[in-house]
Amino acid sequence: MPALEDEVPKVVVETIAEVKRRRQTAPAELKKRLPLGPLKTVHVYWLAGMSCDGCSIAVTGATNPGIEGLLAGVVPAMPKVVLQHPVLAVDAGAAFVETYRTAWRGELGAPYVVVYEGSIADERIAARTGGYFSAMGVEPREGFAQEQPVPTAEWLRRMAPGAAAVIAIGTCATWGGIPAAEGNPTAAMSVMDFLGKDFRSAFGLPVINIPGCAPVGDNFTETVFAVLLFLQGLGPLPAFDELGRPAWLFTETVHQGCTRAGYYEEGTFAKHYGDAECLVDVGCWGPVVNCNIVKRGAINHMGGCMKAGGICIGCTMPGFPDKFAPFYKTPPGALVSTTASKSMGFFIRRLRRLSNRETNRERRWDVNAAVPSGWANVQAQTLMDKAIHYFYEKWQQFGARKQGRRPSEQKWLWGGDRPGVRSDYHDDSATKEDRNG
């Protein structure tokens, strides 16, 4: 690939050279200038690349904590968050962009966090013809009579070294997503690919990734909350996995938290969309995808793909979409796993039905050999049920004291000589069923 300096206008080359210099010096300088906490205000600068704005919409629906609480500064122990968002901001035009330049120049006087939404296109491709893919604001550029748009990738390059943290939100920003799918003409990439392995923020943090298409809003606000606690000096740096994902949110797979996982274990699978059973046979990738949407819900802790009847297409994973396409087709690995599950489940389902039927009866009903239900004719305990239960109960009670009274206590209750109790007490009206029941 040609050197970046060979492919872009001169004014941009000078900016890149300046950023390279700042990348080496800015973190150490900012650590001296910016306090670790407690902080009164933290600025959040939102940048959008090749995105659909779905991540922004998801964040506005967060409830725990809600974005309103962070912006109003009413969340306990949290600094007030000042959000600069190209869609939600009150300012517009040059006044809005100037706030980004203030942070870039180091004149803000407070820590700031950069949030990037959408994938990052290789702007060198568009620059060959004087164009751009994603931009915000305008600047003079050599060779052009009028001011030209500044790519958001350039804003990220400028602001990332001085940021307290850089957060990539959504699968496009974290892994490249759909704009980076095979065959795309933009050479799109993720924030982590763009900034590189050695990138560290002003406070020494690599890129933080919160994937999802769109992500769970609460996953974002909860991560921001945890990072702000760290910046406040009130807690340790939260745990992230080897790819920069919040470890407490993305360690388990979709399947481990899915409400349909029990069907998989018993080998029963949906044959059509809308069926209640496990959806693996109709294209669900949940067993191999790291995501908590079924546990947490999509918005306000409600919904979620599998709860709503949809399959998991792996949208939180780095391999999405290429490694999960074509969608709505049974994954090849399911041939082995579901066959094994169906074989074992054939026996498991039947054994559990026996246990379910046994535990669905009162002990009194077993003694009386009748179920007094007026709703339906419920089968009483059969001879085979009694035989199975006899051995099952022996195993269940092995090494433990069986519930109920001991023989000596039973004797006292029905007229025996119990110390301290009248020996002439006896209830002749008690029936066998009453005693056993």
Residues 152, 304: Cα–Cα separation, whole Å? 32
β-bridge partners, 208: 167
Which residue type occupies 16?
I
Query: What is the structure's pLDDT at 288?
Result: 94
Query: Which has more pLDDT, 27 or 167?
Result: 167
State yes or no: pLDDT of 139 exceeds 70: yes
Query: What is the structure's pLDDT at 367?
Result: 86
Query: What is the structure's pLDDT at 54?
Result: 93
What number of CA atoms fall less than 13 Å from residue 155's CA on the CB side?
28
Query: Which has more pLDDT, 15 or 87?
Result: 87
Query: The dihedral of CA 426, 432, 436, 437: what is its sign?
Result: negative
Mark 25-39 as b/e (b = at least 16 C-beta within 10 Å).
ebbeebeeebeebeb
Three-state secondary structure of the chain = CCCHHHCCCHHHHHHHHHHHHHHHHHHHHHHHHCCCCCCCEEEEEEEECECCCHHHHHHHCCCCCCHHHHHHCCCCCCCEEEEECCCCCCCCHHHHHHHHHHHHCCCCCCCEEEEEECEECCHHHHHCCCCCCCEEEEECCCCCCCCEEEEHHHHHHHHHHHCCEEEEECHHHHHCCHHHCCCCCCCCECHHHHHCCCCCCCCCCCCEEECCCCCCHHHHHHHHHHHHHHHHCCCCCCCECCCCCEHHHHCCEHHHHCCCHHHHHCCCECCCCCCCCECHHHCCCHHHCECCHHHHCCECCECCCCCCCCCCCCCCCCCCCHHHCCCCCCCCCHHHHHHHHHHHHHHHHHHHHHHHHHHCCCHHHHHHCCCCCCCCCCCCCCHHHHHHHHHHHHHHCCCCCCCCCCHHHHHHHCCCCCCCCCCCCCCCCCCHHHHHC
Residues 182, 162: Cα–Cα separation, whole Å? 33
pLDDT tens digits, residue range 19-56? 445 445 444 454 444 555 678 889 999 999 999 999 99
Long-range CB contacts (< 8 A, 24+ apart) of 157-160? 157/16, 157/19, 157/194, 158/15, 158/19, 158/22, 158/104, 159/45, 159/47, 159/100, 159/103, 159/104, 159/112, 159/114, 160/114, 160/195, 160/199, 160/201
Give, rounded to a whole angstrom, the gap between the first and last alpha carbons of the chain: 84
State yes or no: pLDDT of 124 exceeds 60: yes
Closest CA to 111 of 166, 72, 68, 74: 166
Query: What is the structure's pLDDT at 250?
Result: 96
For the chain, list the domains and their CATH numbers.
Answer: 4-249 (3.40.50.700), 252-360 (4.10.480.10)
pLDDT tens digits, residue range 168-192? 999 999 999 999 999 999 999 999 9
Query: What is the structure's pLDDT at 410?
Result: 58
Residue 276: CB atoms within 10 Å: 11
Q: Is residue 130 packed enough to be buried (19+ CB in 10 Å), middle (13-18) or exposed (0-12)? A: exposed
Residues 134, 63: Cα–Cα separation, whole Å? 30
β-bridge partners, 116: 47, 168
Asked if the bond preceding 326 is cis, omega within 30° of 0, the reply is: yes
* Overall average pLDDT of the 123-141 stretch: 91
Query: What is the structure's pLDDT at 137?
Result: 93
Residues 121, 152: Cα–Cα separation, whole Å? 10
pLDDT tens digits, residue range 386-409? 898 888 888 888 888 777 776 666
Q: Indicate the average pLDDT of the chain.
A: 84
Distance, C-alpha 84 to centroid of its chain: 25
Query: What is the structure's pLDDT at 13?
Result: 40
* pLDDT tier at 435, thresholds 50, 70, 90: very low
pTM of the model: 0.77
Query: Which has more pLDDT, 69 or 266?
Result: 266
What number of CA atoms fall less than 13 Å from residue 425's CA on the CB side?
11
* Overall average pLDDT of the 287-303 stretch: 89
Percent of the chain with pLDDT over 90: 46
Distances (CA, A) of 395 to 322, 402, 406: 51, 11, 19
pLDDT tens digits, residue range 196-253? 999 999 989 999 999 999 999 999 999 998 988 888 888 888 999 999 999 999 999 9
